[in-house]
């Protein structure tokens, strides 16, 4: 049985003992980060976000009525999940609300509790979601959530939990300790909790983890706290990759720097072995004091890199034989730390200070809402339009106007290198995608 962080017995007893909180119209994210004065609304700086509207589904054969009462009923469905889980599910559909600021935390929760004697919506809904996953997704001797919770409670939750998006996310979600293995330097890394780990860099080498499963399309996120202080020469990574000479790869690489100078976010993409598509950004926050969320969203239309929910880069699939796109190879999710002081910090000017070893990076809450690779047929199955393949819906064909504005802000203010502007490197024969829209 997968550990979901709460005991099954406690979940059952808690749900049977309490009723759902009444009238909870507001859904809120809480982030761990400080509120940055004058900063753009991101999940590290603004703590309130609204999830997309959940669809109203018919129950017990009754037609859903599109009137005010049914809409209000939909808004009363409370939602709770870790912030990184919500990032994975709704990576391209988060509505930022800079007018709402909440305290620190790492849960999404319904923020209005009318009766102080009612159970906290966080606790109630986490228990319900956990139990539904345990009973219906993992399976437990043929028992069902209906048997445990009763028809009335199940009906109240149907519009949320019957959603293929949530179920698909839960299907692939597991504790980091259960879902990854050390592919390199196991003696220099350690699992520090059920959902977090620490990777260390010594002069002898670094360390890396990889997901046990392989995927084709979906959303992949990790919360990372980078090496503090003098991190010159180090590279910390979160990326997707296949294997072999003509491999596919989608990279987040974090290039260390001397103390007092910020990290560089280095992004790249390989398709059928062809790379050289780097874009780099200065970081607009301190990535060493708090965990920050880094998400790779990948579907048949495009790849999107997001930092705390804010898109910084898009690489579009133009369906052009001259522009390779990763659309046929399974990839694992990987994370690592390694030494690259020949080039990583200011072109190799500053070397790794081994007196500071071990240099440590922390990782937690790996979330994958993605299509499992089961063989060659997955190329068709994972790209097809179906309720389970939420990433393939037309909604995710391109960024929204607000996301375009966010990405424009990040690129205007923090981009420091773009391969499409490096004419000398390519001898003025630029890659074809550089002449086409990427948004």
Characterize 399-419 residue by residue with b for buried, 16 or more Cβ atoms within 10 angstroms of its Cβ, and e for exposed.
Answer: beeebeebbeebeeebbeeeb
Kindly state the average pLDDT of the residues 103-126: 40
Q: Locate tokens 């607009």: which residue?
A: 284
Residue 96 included in any domain: yes
Query: What percentage of the chain exceeds 90 in pLDDT?
Result: 54
- Residue 10 — very low, low, confident or very high, per pLDDT cuts 50/70/90? low
Catalytic status, residue 253? yes
Kindly state the average pLDDT of the residues 362-379: 94
Examine the domain organization and report whether 102 and 207 are in the same domain: no
Which candidate in 126, 134, 223, 253 is catalytic?
A: 253
> Beta strand 215-225 with 292-298: parallel, antiparallel or unpaired?
antiparallel
Residue 1 included in any domain: no
Examine the domain organization and report whether 54 and 196 are in the same domain: no
What is the average pLDDT score of the chain? 72
Query: What percentage of the chain exceeds 70 in pLDDT?
Result: 60
Examine the domain organization and report whether 166 and 224 are in the same domain: no
Examine the domain organization and report whether 92 and 39 are in the same domain: yes
Q: pLDDT at residue 82 above 80?
A: no
Point out the domain boundary residue: 142, 172, 202.
172
Main-chain dihedrals φ then ψ at residue 419, nearest 5 degrees: -60, -25
Examine the domain organization and report whether 82 and 195 are in the same domain: no
DSSP designation for 265: E
Residue 337 included in any domain: yes
- Are the C-beta atoms of residues 313 and 304 closer than 8 Å to each other? yes
Residue 3 included in any domain: no
- 113, 158, 183 from 152: Cα distances, Å: 21, 10, 47
Structure tokens at 206: 């670094």
Catalytic status, residue 32? no
Point out the domain boundary residue: 145, 172, 199.
172
Examine the domain organization and report whether 302 and 337 are in the same domain: yes
Residue 34 included in any domain: yes
State residue 29's pLDDT score: 32
pTM tops 0.75: no
State residue 407's pLDDT score: 95
Residue 144 included in any domain: yes
Residue 2 included in any domain: no
- Residue 387 — very low, low, confident or very high, per pLDDT cuts 50/70/90? confident
Which candidate in 32, 223, 249, 433 is catalytic?
A: 249
Boundaries of domain holding 38: 8-172
Examine the domain organization and report whether 227 and 306 are in the same domain: yes
Q: pLDDT at residue 90 above 50?
A: no
Q: Locate tokens 């109630």: which residue?
A: 124
Point out the domain boundary residue: 147, 172, 197.
172
pLDDT tens, residue by residue, 15-62: 556 554 443 322 333 332 222 222 222 333 223 333 333 333 333 333
Residue 193 included in any domain: yes
Examine the domain organization and report whether 102 and 121 are in the same domain: yes
Range with lowest mean pLDDT among 121-125, 335-339, 408-412: 121-125
Domain of residue 408, CATH code: 2.60.120.200
State residue 174's pLDDT score: 63
**Cα–Cα distance, 165 to 160 (Å, whole number):** 9
Examine the domain organization and report whether 210 and 274 are in the same domain: yes
Examine the domain organization and report whether 361 and 277 are in the same domain: yes
Count how many domains the chain has: 2
Examine the domain organization and report whether 217 and 247 are in the same domain: yes
Examine the domain organization and report whether 26 and 136 are in the same domain: yes
Range with lowest mean pLDDT among 170-179, 352-361, 418-427: 170-179
pLDDT tens, residue by residue, 159-202: 333 232 333 333 345 678 888 999 999 999 999 988 899 999 99
């Amino acid at each position: 049985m997968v550990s979901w962080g709460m005991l099954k017995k406690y979940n059952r007893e808690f749900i049977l003992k309490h009723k759902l909180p009444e009238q909870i119209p507001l859904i809120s994210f809480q982030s761990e980060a400080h509120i940055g004065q004058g900063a753009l609304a991101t999940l590290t700086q603004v703590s309130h976000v609204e999830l997309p509207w959940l669809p109203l589904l018919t129950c017990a054969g009754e037609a859903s009525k599109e009137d005010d009462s049914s809409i209000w009923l939909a808004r009363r469905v409370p939602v709770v999940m870790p912030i990184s889980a919500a990032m994975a599910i709704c990576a391209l559909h988060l509505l930022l609300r800079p007018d709402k600021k909440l305290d620190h935390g790492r849960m999404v929760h319904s923020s209005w509790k009318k009766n102080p004697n009612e159970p906290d919506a966080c606790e109630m809904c986490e228990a319900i979601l956990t139990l539904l996953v345990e009973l219906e997704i993992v399976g437990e001797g043929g028992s069902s959530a209906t048997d445990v919770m009763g028809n009335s409670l199940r009906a109240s939750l149907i519009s949320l939990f019957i959603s293929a998006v949530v179920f698909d996310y839960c299907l692939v979600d597991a504790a980091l300790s259960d879902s990854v293995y050390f592919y390199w330097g196991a003696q220099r890394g350690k699992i520090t909790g059920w959902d977090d780990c620490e990777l260390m860099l010594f002069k002898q080498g670094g360390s890396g983890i990889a997901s046990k499963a392989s995927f084709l399309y979906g959303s992949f996120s990790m919360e990372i706290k980078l090496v503090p202080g003098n991190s010159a020469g180090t590279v910390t990574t979160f990326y997707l990759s296949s294997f072999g000479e003509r491999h596919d790869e989608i990279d987040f690489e974090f290039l260390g720097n001397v103390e007092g100078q910020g990290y560089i976010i280095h992004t790249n993409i390989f398709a059928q072995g062809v790379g050289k598509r780097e874009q780099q950004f200065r970081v607009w926050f301190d990535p060493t004091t708090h965990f920050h969320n880094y998400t790779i969203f990948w579907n048949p239309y495009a790849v999107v890199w997001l930092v705390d929910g804010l898109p910084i880069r898009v690489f579009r699939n133009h369906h052009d034989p001259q522009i390779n796109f990763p659309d046929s190879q399974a990839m694992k999710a990987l994370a690592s730390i390694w030494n690259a002081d020949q080039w990583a910090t200011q072109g190799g000017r500053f070397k790794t200070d081994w007196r500071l070893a071990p240099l440590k990076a922390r990782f937690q809450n790996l979330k994958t809402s993605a299509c499992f690779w089961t063989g060659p047929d997955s190329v068709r199955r994972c790209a097809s339009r179906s309720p389970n393949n939420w990433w393939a819906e037309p909604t995710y064909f391109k960024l929204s106007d607000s996301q375009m504005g966010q990405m424009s802000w990040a690129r205007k203010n923090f981009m420091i290198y773009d391969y499409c502007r490096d004419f000398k490197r390519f001898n003025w024969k630029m890659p074809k995608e550089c002449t086409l829209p990427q948004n």
